[in-house]
C-alpha cells in the first residue's frame, strides 16, 4: 500500500471518529449520557449475565479497565454483581431494571443515529458501507492477535 493511501486512510478515519463524537468522554455518538464503553457494556449485558472477564474480553478491554468500568456501572445502579450458582467464588454481572432501561435507550438512540447516517448515503452504497465496516473489523481483530 502506498504511503499516500495510508495517509488518506488515516486522515479519513480520524475525521470519521471526530464526526461521530467519539472523543466526548461522557456522551455516546447517539447522544446517550454515558461513555461509549458503558453503552457497549449495557447492550452486551442485555443478552444475559456474564462474568466480568468475559465482558472485558467482548469489549477488548484489559482487566483493570474492565474493573473500573464495572465499578462505575454498579455505582450508577445499572449493574449488580451476583454469585455464580456454578462457582461460589465467581460473580456474575446482571443488569438492574434501571440498567435495562438505560440499555434500551442506547439501542433506540443508536438505531436512530445509524438510520440517519444511512439516510445520507445513496441506498445503492449501503451494502458497500456495511462490507467496508466488516473488513475494518476483521483487519482490526487480526491486528490485535
Q: CA–CA separation, 52 vs 107, rounded Å?
A: 21
Q: Quick one: average pLDDT of 121-137?
A: 96
Rg of the chain taking only CA atoms, in angstroms? 18
Q: Could you report the per-residue pLDDT of 29-84, keeping only the tens digit for each? A: 988 999 999 999 999 999 999 999 999 999 999 999 999 999 999 999 999 999 88
> What are the C-alpha distances in Å from 10 to residues 39, 51, 93, 130, 133?
26, 36, 37, 19, 15
Beta-bridge partner residues of 84 = 87
To the question of domain 34-144 being in CATH 3.90.1570.10, the answer is no
Where are the domains positioned within the chain?
34-144
Residue 143 has pLDDT above 90, yes or no: no
HSE-up of residue 121 (Cα within 13 Å, Cβ side)? 13
Q: Which of 41, 109, 47 is nearest to 78 (CA)?
A: 41
Q: CA–CA separation, 62 vs 140, rounded Å?
A: 16
The answer for residues whose C-beta is within 8 angstroms of residue 94's C-beta and 6 or more apart is: 45, 48, 49, 79, 80, 82
Angle at 13 between CA 132 and CA 17, to 5 degrees: 105
Residue 117 CB: number of other CB atoms within 10 A?
Answer: 13
pLDDT mean across residues, the chain: 93
Amino acid at each position: 500500500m502506498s504511503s499516500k493511501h495510508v495517509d488518506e486512510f488515516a486522515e479519513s478515519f480520524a475525521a470519521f471518529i471526530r464526526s461521530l463524537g467519539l472523543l466526548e468522554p461522557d456522551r455516546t455518538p447517539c447522544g446517550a449520557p454515558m461513555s461509549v464503553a458503558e453503552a457497549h457494556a449495557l447492550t452486551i449485558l442485555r443478552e444475559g449475565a456474564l462474568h466480568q472477564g468475559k465482558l472485558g474480553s467482548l469489549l477488548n478491554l484489559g482487566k483493570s479497565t474492565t474493573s473500573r468500568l464495572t465499578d462505575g456501572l454498579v455505582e450508577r445502579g445499572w449493574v449488580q454483581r451476583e454469585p455464580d450458582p456454578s462457582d461460589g467464588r465467581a460473580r456474575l454481572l446482571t443488569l438492574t431494571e434501571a440498567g435495562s432501561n438505560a440499555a434500551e435507550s442506547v439501542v433506540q438512540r443508536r438505531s436512530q443515529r445509524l438510520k440517519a447516517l444511512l439516510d445520507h448515503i445513496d441506498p445503492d452504497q449501503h451494502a458497500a458501507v456495511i462490507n467496508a465496516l466488516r473488513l475494518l473489523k476483521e483487519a482490526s481483530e487480526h491486528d490485535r492477535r
